[in-house]
């Protein structure tokens, strides 16, 4: 009789440390893999991850884009080739990070490397003859660097529903995508009444939530001062990063809470959400099925802009390119978001078993004898 507890060849996993979404979906996915599958995570931070199962280790690597003072000057005039994005010359930290990962490739003989996200790390895996899965994000990624990372992958993992795919993605790319809407979501949120009790909010008053993720510096406060004065009978609460404006005339019905550990409770308590378009933020709002105004923050390759456009096309959010700048613009936007609310369509974009299904897909991608044995037993 075959021993299914035998340790399988390891998976590697590169996690970008900007924001929290990359780490949260990594934890969700690796925790859904069998205990017999070791995973080594490479990240510049080890304090951004939710709890991880046994047989998973985090190896810290130097940041690929933050300076340390040890960089050699004199190379800034050398142009960056189109096949890479973040490859400055003379940076020892990048050299060390690549050496740590490629050294692990040589010693561990991994079955697969998941890359979330870096076109350079994805290409490194391919060059080192390691099969890799590239996490797919929205944005204009038609450049040679992204194309090489995608074309060289054995599969593409999209942490969102197929309904949010971009229309410019070619068929040969789409047929290799595994869509995992809601990947990275943690605990279920409370309902509106329970969330308001937990947060000490008026159970009857209307509340608008302003939400930004952890990947940027947030919005300026001035537009929300206008919104709060336009709707004086609403409570307006912001969570996440916000930039103060000296000219922002904020009333007493606007409160800035800053970073919170349970944004899902605030979302559950809200009657309207105004948010940026980070992937985890969007998934939390879709699951809660709230009237929603989505405004993209600046990101590389127009990631949030394309995500917001996809949400608008799917009819699950009101997409605006910028915050309303006047009382009458706020009235128009709020009215449109409330009138266009489609809760069933929103919740349909979240898969209840996103992590488990993605874990099974990863296992099926690799010609690993132990995986084949396990699958024979599963489908016998």
Chain segment 116-134, per-residue pLDDT in tens: 999 999 999 999 999 999 9
**31: three-class secondary structure by DSSP:** helix
Tell whether 328 is covered by a domain.
yes
Beta strands in the chain (DSSP E): 11-15, 39-43, 56-60, 112-116, 132-135, 155-158, 177-179, 206-211, 219-220, 234-239, 242-243, 254-258, 272-275, 292-294, 318-319
Tell whether 6 is covered by a domain.
no
- Whether 288 and 207 have beta carbons less than 8 Å apart is answered as no
Q: What is the mean pLDDT of the chain?
A: 92
Give the pLDDT confidence score for residue 369 in this predicted structure: 59
| One domain, residues 203 and 143 | no
| One domain, residues 342 and 356 | no
Q: What angle separates helix 21-32 from helix 279-288, to the nearest 10 degrees?
A: 70
Residue 155 per-residue DSSP state: E
| One domain, residues 54 and 163 | yes
Find, among 104, 263, 274, the residue nearest to 198 by Cα: 263
Chain segment 247-258, per-residue pLDDT in tens: 878 889 999 999
Give the pLDDT confidence score for residue 367 in this predicted structure: 77
Cα angle 261, 262, 267 (rounded to 5 degrees) comes to: 140
Find, among 110, 269, 281, the residue nearest to 184 by Cα: 281
Give the pLDDT confidence score for residue 86 in this predicted structure: 84
Range of the structural domain that residue 25 is part of = 11-185+351-379
pTM (2 d.p.): 0.92
- CATH code for the domain in which residue 180 is found: 3.40.50.2000
Residue 376 pLDDT class (50, 70, 90 cuts): very low
Give the pLDDT confidence score for residue 378 in this predicted structure: 46
Tell whether 124 is covered by a domain.
yes
| One domain, residues 180 and 201 | no
Give the pLDDT confidence score for residue 120 in this predicted structure: 96
Q: What angle separates helix 222-230 from helix 327-339, to the nearest 10 degrees?
A: 70
């Amino acid at each position: 009789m075959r021993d299914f507890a035998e340790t399988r060849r390891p998976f590697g996993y590169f996690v970008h440390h900007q924001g929290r979404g990359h780490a949260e979906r990594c934890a969700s996915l690796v925790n859904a893999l069998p205990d017999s599958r070791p995973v080594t995570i490479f990240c510049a931070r080890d304090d951004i991850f939710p709890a991880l199962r046994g047989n998973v280790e985090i190896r810290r690597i130097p940041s690929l884009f933050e300076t340390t003072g040890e960089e050699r000057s004199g190379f800034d005039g050398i142009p960056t080739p189109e096949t890479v994005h973040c490859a400055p010359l003379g940076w020892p930290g990048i050299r060390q990070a690549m050496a740590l990962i490629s050294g692990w490739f040589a010693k561990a003989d991994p079955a697969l490397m998941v890359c979330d996200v870096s076109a350079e790390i994805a290409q490194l895996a391919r060059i080192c003859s390691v099969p890799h899965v590239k996490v797919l994000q929205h944005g204009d990624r038609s450049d040679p660097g992204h194309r090489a990372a995608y074309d060289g992958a054995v599969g593409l993992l999209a942490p969102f529903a197929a309904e949010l795919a971009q229309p410019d993605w070619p068929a040969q790319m789409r047929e290799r995508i595994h869509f995992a809407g809601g990947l990275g979501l943690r605990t279920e949120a409370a309902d509106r009444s329970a969330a308001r009790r937990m947060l000490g909010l008026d159970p009857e008053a209307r509340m608008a939530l302003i939400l930004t993720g952890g990947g940027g510096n947030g919005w300026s406060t001035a537009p929300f001062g206008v919104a709060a004065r336009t709707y004086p009978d609403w409570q307006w609460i912001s969570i996440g990063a916000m930039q103060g404006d000296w000219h922002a005339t904020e009333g007493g019905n606007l409160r800035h809470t800053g970073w919170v550990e349970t944004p899902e409770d605030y979302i559950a308590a809200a009657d309207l959400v105004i948010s940026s378009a980070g992937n985890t933020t969007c998934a939390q709002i879709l699951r809660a099925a709230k009237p929603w105004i989505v405004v993209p923050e600046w990101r590389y390759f127009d990631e949030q802009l394309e995500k917001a456009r996809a949400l608008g096309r799917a009819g699950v959010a009101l997409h605006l390119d910028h915050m309303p700048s006047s009382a009458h613009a706020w009235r128009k936007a709020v009215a449109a978001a409330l009138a266009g609310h489609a809760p069933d369509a929103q919740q349909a974009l979240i898969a209840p078993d996103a992590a488990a299904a993605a874990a099974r897909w990863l296992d099926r991608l690799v010609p690993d004898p132990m995986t084949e044995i396990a699958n024979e037993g599963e489908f016998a």
